[in-house]
Chains A and B, each alone.
Chain A
Amino acid sequence: MVVQKEKKTINRLKSMYPLRAKVNETYLKSIEAIQAGKPAVWGMLNFYYGDPILKAMDIEVVYPENYGAIAAAMGVARQYLDRADAEGFPTHLCGYSLTTLGYASRMMKELKGQIPPEAPLGGMPKPLFLMSSAAICDARYKWFQALGRYMDVPVWPLEAPIPGIKEFFIEGYYDKMMKLGVKHLRDFVAFVEKMVGKKMDWDRLDKTANLMIEVNRVWHEVNELRKARPCPMHSRDFWSAMPAALFLAGDLEDSLRLYQDMYREVKDRVNNHVGAIPDEKYRMVFAELPPWHSLAFFDKLAERGWNFVIESFGYHPPIPLDLSKVSDPLERITKFSLQFLVGYFEDARKQNVLGGTSAYPYLKYVKEWKCDGALLHPLITCRSASTHLPYVSDMLIEKLNVPSLSIEGDIVDLRLFNPEDALAKAEPFEETMEHYKRMRKQAGFDW
């Protein structure tokens, strides 16, 4: 009998594996550490504001947003969702938030604080406090507030300014954002100190901040290399490697070394014209969260010559900025975090693309990474990953003659994403991409 192995067309980076292993390992390690009595915090992905502070204070962080994805993939999310539903949370809310709320209800109301036995990867233990975030979406601070029903732990909502693109250029605007950020972080440090009962080690924070910035810089450079044709690194490698930069998962010195290795491997591929897929016909940008449970879908597309060369702005490191002269680590962290939000504003204003923080970068990516098409994956219950997509698709076609294919999915109701249906649309979409390739030629674009 011949066992048919699933064909894998994507040529994965070797340097990705140790990085991914590291991320997984640190996850388990941190659970162990917490179980051994180390303080744990539930954190919301906050785009660099709070994490270095927690890291410098030696606090382990678990990310419910991330855990929601794990629970969904492992098939245990359903029962938490049902619980949240029964507790009266409207079903149209962010699926990850409902998973967490259901989880908290099970752990705190039913099991009196014990980690539920069915919880995958060791579960999330009761936190010391909650660090929520105002950046990107309302769910991200309202959700942690709602957790107050189940756990009497304090919440710190991290403020993040949401400037308008034009308004940002009003004189003095940036300084006011800085003032807010630095003062806010200073108060946050005081809060954390009180919570863990020890003082901040400022030298350590200084080092942590620098490492965070450096890790992200290298990671940025890796992604710049993907502009090469054929593109040496597929989005799947990006997703596997991103947690080390985005959540600062793992030891930062290790991460730095591993990203440097990755840089070398990718550079090598560029020099030797090695692509991430055998025959790159279409260069694609992927918008927002990938369908984690059907990643094999990308192999099928790779067989058709679709290479995914760049992806969601929200998971990308900020455009590097020289911060070596900024002596106060809190100021450095704030500048770095703000850079994530406003790094593309100058350009966006010039191009008069005012549709928001997460919209403009797609135009830049498509232009610089020379994409033929965009695959958009709007998610029923994640507003922030979906709201800007119609606008993005409109701008891409209008300004750059690049078409988009939109395939609906969800973050927890995994059945919603139908890979067969999506593949059935690949054929007509290839025609569309070919058409626009010609249009771009006519309009004088260089790809």
Chain B
Amino acid sequence: MEKTKEKDETGFSPSGAARTPGAQTALEASSAAAESADQYKVKLAVFEGPLDLLLFLIRKEEVSIYDIPIARVTQQYLDYLRAMQELDIGVAGEFLLMAATLIQIKSQMLLPRDPAIPEDQVEDPRAELVNQLLEHQKFKAAANALHQRATIESATFTRGELETDKENPEVSSTIFQLFEVFQEVLSRKRAITEIEIAREELTMAEKITEIKRLVSGGGTVSAREMFERARSRRELVLIFLAVLELVKELAIRLKQADTFGEILITKREEEAGAGGAGPDSEGGAAIN
């Protein structure tokens, strides 16, 4: 499948420049099958898909599409797949699927006919494949016709731009573009949010450093005073979160003398063994 994707973009690149779209051309290009491996590789790449390859084989064998000698064609088809594999050309899943279909048809053809079914009602196991090939063939011809039309069209030109033409960047609005634009807006919003989060984290880190510095000399800082210094709601929240973070890290200790009294922040010294009042309950109580 990867292969198909690539081809889409390079379909008419220099190596393919000589061919014009359409069944015939593709087939003829391939039928000039070269002997050397390198050339072989190039020719194989011409097949757009399993139906293309089959049509090529049918034409090469000069057999009727309505009466395909399925055993012979299947053998050739498999030979081609093998060649592709040997040449290390990735064989797309569709080619393998067709191989399975061919083998199935071949085995159905070998089955003895049920004598109970009248001859005119026996269904040819190839019928579906033939229809598919015919249909495919028609569309290839249609593609060729479209290409010819486009070539003629490209030889006519419309007027140069006038001042009256809109200055807006051309935004023709197909429904998929609307969706794409919507996705773009959303991803832009996401990017902005990410920047904001990043900025917030930075400030949070700054606050933590600031608090650590304030209590580093063994001094005591009033939580209320610190909250009051906040210039915005956001900063207030950040200070609050920074304090919580430091309590969690066991870097500071919160103390409250009486129930409605000041909460004081001090640096927490290393403690050997945690007593009855653990750091969590202590900090938690103070904050509540």
* Co-assembled chains A and B: no
Which residues does A use to contact B, with CB under 8 Å?
none
